[in-house]
A and B are shown apart, each in its own frame.
Chain A
Amino acid sequence: MTAVAQQRYGAAQGRSLFGLGLNTWLFLAPALIFFLWYQVYPIVRVIWISFTDFRFLTGEPGQWVGLDNYIEALSDPLMWTSLWRAALFTLMFLPGTIIFPLLLAILVDRVKNQRLATFYRVILLIPAVIPSTLIFVLWKWMYNFQVGPVNLLIETLGGTPQMWLGGTELTLPSIAIMEIWWGLGYHTIFFLAGLAAIPKDLPEAARLDGANEWKIFWYVTLPRLQPIMAILVVLRFGTAMAVIDEYLIFGGFNRDFPTYTWTIFMYDQAFQIGQWRQGFAAAIGMIGAMGMMIVVAGLLWIFRPKG
């Protein structure tokens, strides 16, 4: 064992396994080139143009304007409204996408019959393998005023049909429900992996000590699921704050719609109106991204491993 460990240590310290540095870089090159080309460079470029008055359709390179775009964006009430709308959506979405999968995972984890357990998992994961746009299209129809089954169900139960999408107050909650449905099975699988990692004798011991199921859940299970929950909260906060496709499909570019969030504000400025003020749009994007990063850092600090 020590020999192996030392060997590993040596390899990690010194040259690579096959001694050829060039070969190693050949393996890494495709991934790195694409990563630099389509992810790192665009971000750096966006940061740069956020300090210029770059308008795409004029065809001229932007002139340095310092913090002007940021000052203009931050003094525009729409910037704050659009950020608040994204935050509001996140608040509607985040609790449901943690609590329901957690509940479901605890139930599925107790299924003893292996075939049934596999069956449940496969059905649960079906929405996760439906591509994003097809999820949105499907729910656009589900919420349709005329033929949508959601209104049909409500009418059958004696309620009044609602306008779910298209800028009404119900739009953000409707999208949140759709997103919770989408992530339900996938997050359940996440929690199931966490539950499987808990040694079975821990809840058994607590049970023998006379703890009831609720106490076992609260004091034994939940603390051990916390790392997974932390990952999910941080990741889903990120996706929820930066939603854009859903808002493009369900909302559009009406500034009064609750779907006009900072992402749509950015897109609107960059590709829709006027001469495509991409310098200004870049500033909007960076303000949104920086706001998100601050909250993510805060969340990571809250969930930091203790002790």
Chain B
Amino acid sequence: MTADALPRQRSVAIPPETWLSRHRGAIIRHGIIWLFLLIIVAPLVWVLLMSVKTLPASMRPQIWPDSFDFSHYAYVFEKIDTLPHNMFNSIYVTGGTVLFTTLFAVLAGYALVHLRPRGARVIVLAFLLSLYFPTRVVSIISIYEIQNYMGLINSTTGLILPYITLNLAISVLIMRSVFQLVPHELFEAAKIDGAGPWKSLWMVGLPMVRNGLVVVFIVNFVTAWGEYLLCLTLTNDQEARTMPVVLAMAAGGLGQWAWPRLAAVYVIVVLPGILAFIFAQRLFFKGLMEGMVKG
């Protein structure tokens, strides 16, 4: 740390200055960062390498495979018969959840800031309180009862309903703080031009909150794609379950759940999200900062 503040003075004191000594602080700094990056990436690299190992090699204590075997990716889709089903469930449930939660959050965030209903403060407070209370854990008892009452136990579509609320509160609060950054005068102007509340949200509001939308979208995708507790509790058959829950139940070992095959399924399930994030990272970081202003 101190080395960082001193290099100029040192260059006067000690004439034979090497590149190494001049950059020592920066090298240590970047070295520590890279160590953390390595710790973050290592488990993912391990699973990626595991998915291309041959079956016998997967049981040997070595990280790098002797020869690469890419056949597991084809195998898991051809031979594990519930897999395409679970994959579809995941996409279906996550798609529905993300769509509805984002839509509801945009509508509510816009209304709370720019339509200014009475009782907006009470609503915001209620959403905020639900974040501090262990709602997800305690409410599971009665959510089972609700779903049972509506005949939605073991229904994949039925999962979407409670999934929507998992991140609803935080999504509304994020959209609210993003909409607070949009000048109210823009909507006033739209109103003078004859636009109604729906049209002014669509034409004026949405383009201004693009970054926040990306954040809400990703946050909800991540939660729904990986949800465990509700899916485990509200469904009984492997057919009705989502991919991560099936993966969590699968015991690694032999046969169709041999380690490289398990790893191949894992890579297929985890990669779309990571790639989508890397693709949208610029918008995501901007949105995160906007959402944090008051969130």
* Interface residues in chain A, defined as those with a beta carbon under 8 Å from any beta carbon in chain B: 4, 7-8, 11-12, 16-18, 20-21, 23-25, 27-28, 30-32, 34-35, 37-43, 45-46, 49, 56, 100, 103-104, 107-108, 110-111, 118, 120-142, 144, 146-147, 149, 152, 155, 181, 184-185, 189-190, 193, 207, 212-214, 234-235, 238, 241-242, 244-245, 248-249, 263, 266-267, 270-271, 278, 281-282, 285-286, 288-289, 292-293, 296
Contacts and interface: CB of A to CB of B under 8 A. Distances in A.
Interface stretch (B67-75, B78-86, B245-253): B245-253
B233 A271 contact: yes
B17 interface: no
Contact of A125 (B33, B169, B277): B277
B93 interface: no
- Dominant SS at the A interface? helix
Contacts, number: 292
Contact of B107 (A30, A189, A281): A30
21 contacts: A24-B111, A28-B117, A28-B123, A32-B108, A34-B104, A35-B127, A35-B169, A49-B141, A111-B30, A111-B33, A131-B244, A141-B47, A147-B58, A184-B40, A189-B285, A212-B2, A241-B134, A266-B141, A267-B140, A282-B138, A288-B134
Given A17-B116, A133-B228, A193-B289, A27 B43 contact: no
B135 A31 contact: no
Interface in B105-130: 105, 107-108, 110-112, 114-117, 123, 126-127, 130
Contact of B61 (A31, A41, A155): A155
A129 B273 contact: yes
Contact of A23 (B115, B143, B232, B262): B115
A121 B61 CA distance: 32
B164 to A, nearest CB: 5
A31 B173 CA distance: 11
Contacts of A152: 61, 63
A142 B1 contact: no
Given A31-B105, A104-B36, A193-B292, A238 B132 contact: yes
Contact of A214 (B1, B168, B292): B1
A306 to B, nearest CB: 20
Interface of B: 1-2, 4-5, 29-30, 32-33, 36-37, 39-44, 46-47, 50, 58-59, 61, 63, 100, 103-105, 107-108, 110-112, 114-117, 123, 126-127, 130-146, 161-162, 164-165, 168-169, 172, 184-185, 187-188, 191, 196-197, 201, 218, 222-223, 225-229, 232-233, 244-245, 247-248, 252, 259, 262-263, 266, 269-270, 273-274, 276-278, 281, 285, 288-289, 292
Given A24-B117, A42-B142, A46-B138, A30 B108 contact: yes
A155 B61 CA distance: 10
Given A18-B197, A289-B138, A142 B46 contact: yes
Contacts of B172: 31
Contacts of A16: 115-117
A133 B134 contact: no
Contact of A30 (B1, B104, B227, B263): B104
Contacts of B36: 100, 104, 124, 184
A212 B110 CA distance: 47
Contact of A121 (B50, B115, B270, B285): B285
A267 B131 CA distance: 21
Contacts of A4: 185
Contacts of A125: 277, 281
Contact of A41 (B112, B116, B142): B142
A132 B134 contact: no
The 4 closest A-B pairs by CB, nearest first: A131-B226, A27-B111, A42-B142, A42-B139
Contacts of B115: 16-18, 23-24, 27
Contacts of B232: 248
A207 B197 contact: no
A171 B185 CA distance: 56
